[in-house]
């Protein structure tokens, strides 16, 4: 879909979207449109007793003045609208237009809620619409008849300024779409090498992409990651993506993603029901790739590293066994008691590698790590674990602002003790109780004093509740959250 910004001259045909504050009459461009229709819009609103309540809309057909259709959306109290509310509204507008099979439409966006300028409003409507209009249908042999909403023109008093505000938001939306695509891809198509190849597209944007092979990982001593990979004929990869948009020599921010392109559980095999969803076990890696795209596209003034560990976890004659002991790059030995607790094995080596090589300012890892996080938090919040209160607080705020919400969970020595092992230094599962916490404690053993956050996104990366701006099974969760963190505090 193409989003265009235009000045205050409204079209005289087609579909027009207007906004109405609750209990108020039409103002600005909406009032002008009404007068061009000889008051027909206001009469329709009155006849329908439409008050402008939030999340309500009224569809008015052939109102006169040449227009085919006017859709009026309620704003509620404009003073209460946040940036996220306006994006959601943009998403709702696009969703409604799609369900009406509109190919193109115009929006009168000359609204300035408290704390937001008219330009912000117009740009955020565009952002919400861009996030909403997403489809993943390349495997349908019959393409849907209509190509959907192809063009949205957003009118406000300063088109150029609105366009300038929109561009970085568009960059982020494109990063979200990239992440969604990766999560939605079937696992026979998107395996580690193919995932790594797709990240090469980022080089066009100025991201340096470096890909490590199993031979290189072996030389580095990454026995934890390679142990997971050895049951699959598909080779593992680690991808390091670097965006150097900040000052030369500034320590980079590091984002690390779990990329298990399919998780059968390995020898500790999962039950058949729902196993197909394990194509999404690379949601953390997808988010990191999407974030790197967003940062590069909007030319963020920051140095950032994205590092993803890509493996497939399969049962096989070569697969690792429950009871195996592997040696991680850190030198710590790990007893693999359950081969389905593989994500932490992958992350252990990638975390260690990133911290040794890049000396980052902080590390944030994202992983569809535990089913237990769904028991604790459902699909509304990701679990956040951290050794750094400031970073945790900043992410909480970013979660509220973007709607990608996080909830802090505890770390403590008492939980850490649970994963001690009698033969090896540590075991890869602490049992059923506090399963998400013991997983985080495991990761922490591979982080030195560096500020670090682990986000358990098993509930939010895939099949999460749909919203006006998140319509897809693969949600692309985390791109907007982390982009906000970077933009607010590190540029």
Q: Interface residues with Mn ion (CB under 5 A)?
A: 263, 340, 342
Using the rule CB under 5 A, which residue among 343, 383, 399, 474 binds Zn ion?
Answer: 343
How many angstroms separate the CA atoms of 203 and 149, rounded?
Answer: 30
- Check binding of 263 to Zn ion (CB under 5 A): yes
Which tokens is 32 given? 């002008």
Please pick, among 180, 237, 298, 344, the residue that the annotation labels catalytic: 344
Residue with smaller CB distance to Mn ion, 263 or 404 = 263
Instruction: Point out the residue whose Cβ comes nearest to Mn ion.
Output: 340
Please pick, among 43, 270, 379, 408, the residue that the annotation labels catalytic: 270
The one segment of 60-68, 128-136, 279-287, 411-419 that binds Zn ion by CB under 5 A = 279-287
Catalytic residue status for 270: yes
**Which residues are within 8 A (CB) of 319 and not within 5 positions of it... i.e. 6 or more apart?**
230, 231, 266, 267, 339
Strands 324-327 and 382-386 turn out to be: unpaired
Q: Least distance (Å) from Zn ion to the CB of residue 395? A: 23
- Check binding of 252 to Zn ion (CB under 5 A): no
CA-CA distances (angstroms) from residue 112 to 25, 109, 123, 124? 16, 9, 12, 11
Q: Least distance (Å) from Mn ion to the CB of residue 351? A: 18
The residues pairing with 429 across neighbouring beta strands, listed in sequence order, are none
Catalytic residue status for 361: no
Q: Least distance (Å) from Zn ion to the CB of residue 370? A: 9
The one segment of 51-59, 124-132, 158-166, 281-289 that binds Zn ion by CB under 5 A = 281-289
Q: Least distance (Å) from Mn ion to the CB of residue 342? A: 5
How many angstroms separate the CA atoms of 126 and 424, rounded?
Answer: 54
- Check binding of 309 to Zn ion (CB under 5 A): no
Which tokens is 475 given? 């949600």
- Check binding of 260 to Zn ion (CB under 5 A): yes
Using the rule CB under 5 A, which residue among 34, 87, 110, 281 binds Zn ion?
Answer: 281
How many angstroms separate the CA atoms of 468 and 131, rounded?
Answer: 9
Helix (H, G, I), strand (E, B) or coil at 314: coil
Rg (CA), the chain: 25
Which tokens is 304 given? 């950032």
Residue with smaller CB distance to Mn ion, 28 or 435 = 435
Residue with smaller CB distance to Zn ion, 129 or 439 = 439
Residue with smaller CB distance to Mn ion, 271 or 413 = 271
How many angstroms separate the CA atoms of 482 and 299, rounded?
Answer: 15
Q: Least distance (Å) from Zn ion to the CB of residue 260? A: 5
How many angstroms separate the CA atoms of 348 and 330, rounded?
Answer: 8
Give φ, ψ of 482 to 5 degrees: -75, -35
Residue with smaller CB distance to Mn ion, 131 or 225 = 225
Which tokens is 454 given? 């682990």
The one segment of 23-31, 232-240, 255-263, 431-439 that binds Zn ion by CB under 5 A = 255-263
Q: What sections of 245-360 are H helices per DSSP?
A: 283-297, 343-358
How many angstroms separate the CA atoms of 340 and 428, rounded?
Answer: 9
User: Which one of Mn ion, Zn ion, none is in contact with 120 (Cβ closer than 5 to 8 A by kind)?
Assistant: none
Laid out side by side, the sheet with 324-327 consists of: 324-327, 333-336, 426-427
The residues pairing with 383 across neighbouring beta strands, listed in sequence order, are 407, 456
Instruction: Point out the residue whose Cβ comes nearest to Zn ion.
Output: 263
Residue 248 sits at the vertex; the CA angle it makes with 242 and 251, to the nearest 5 degrees, is 65
The one segment of 9-17, 165-173, 342-350, 452-460 that binds Zn ion by CB under 5 A = 342-350
User: Which one of Mn ion, Zn ion, none is in contact with 349 (Cβ closer than 5 to 8 A by kind)?
Assistant: none
- Check binding of 87 to Zn ion (CB under 5 A): no
Which tokens is 427 given? 């075991």
Q: Least distance (Å) from Mn ion to the CB of residue 103? A: 44
Q: Least distance (Å) from Zn ion to the CB of residue 342? A: 5
Residues forming the active site: 270, 344
Interface contacts to Zn ion, rule CB under 5 A: 260, 263, 281, 343
């Amino acid at each position: 879909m193409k989003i265009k910004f235009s000045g205050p001259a409204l079209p005289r045909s087609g579909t027009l979207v207007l906004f109405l504050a609750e209990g108020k009459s039409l103002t600005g461009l909406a009032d002008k449109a009404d007068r061009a229709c000889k008051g027909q819009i206001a009469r329709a609103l009155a006849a329908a007793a439409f008050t402008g309540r939030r999340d309500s809309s009224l569809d008015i057909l052939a109102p006169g003045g040449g227009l085919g259709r006017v859709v009026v959306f309620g704003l509620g109290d404009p003073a209460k609208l946040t940036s996220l509310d306006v994006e959601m509204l943009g998403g709702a507008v696009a969703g409604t237009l799609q369900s009406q099979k509109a190919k193109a439409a115009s929006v009168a966006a000359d609204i300035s809620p408290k704390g937001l300028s008219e330009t912000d409003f117009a740009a955020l409507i565009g952002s919400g619409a861009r996030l909403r209009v997403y489809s993943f249908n390349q495997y349908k042999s019959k393409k849907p008849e209509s190509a959907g909403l192809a063009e949205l023109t957003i009118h406000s008093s300063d088109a150029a300024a609105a366009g300038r505000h929109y561009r970085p938001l568009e960059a982020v939306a494109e990063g979200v779409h990239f992440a969604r695509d990766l999560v939605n891809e079937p696992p026979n198509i998107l395996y580690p090498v193919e995932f790594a190849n797709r990240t090469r597209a980022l080089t066009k944007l100025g991201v340096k992409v470096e890909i490590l092979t199993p031979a290189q990982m072996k030389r580095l001593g990454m026995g934890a990651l390679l142990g997971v990979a050895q049951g699959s004929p598909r080779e593992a990869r680690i991808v390091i993506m670097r965006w150097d948009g900040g000052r030369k020599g500034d320590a980079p921010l590091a984002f690390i993603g779990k990329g298990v392109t399919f998780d059968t559980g390995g020898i500790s095999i999962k039950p058949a029901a729902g196993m197909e969803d394990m194509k999404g076990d690379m949601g953390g890696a997808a988010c990191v790739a999407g974030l790197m795209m967003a940062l590069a596209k909007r030319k963020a003034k920051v140095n950032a590293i994205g590092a993803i560990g890509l493996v497939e976890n399969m049962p096989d004659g070569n697969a690792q066994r429950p009871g195996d002991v592997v040696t991680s790059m850190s030198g710590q030995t790990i007893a693999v008691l359950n081969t389905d607790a593989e994500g932490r094995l992958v992350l252990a080596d990638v975390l260690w590698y990133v911290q040794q090589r890049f000396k980052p300012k902080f590390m944030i890892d994202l992983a569809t790590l535990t089913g237990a996080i769904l028991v604790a938090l459902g699909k509304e919040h990701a679990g956040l674990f951290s050794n750094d209160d400031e970073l945790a607080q900043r992410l909480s705020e970013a979660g509220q602002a973007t709607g990608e919400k996080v909830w802090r969970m505890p770390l403590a020595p008492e939980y850490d003790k649970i994963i001690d092992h009698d033969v090896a230094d540590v075991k890869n599962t602490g049992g059923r109780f506090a399963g998400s916490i013991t997983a985080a404690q495991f990761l922490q053993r591979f982080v030195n004093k560096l500020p670090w956050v682990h986000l358990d996104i098993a509930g939010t990366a895939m099949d999460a509740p749909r919203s006006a701006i998140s319509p897809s099974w693969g949600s692309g969760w985390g791109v907007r959250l982390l982009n906000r963190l970077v933009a607010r505090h590190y540029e």
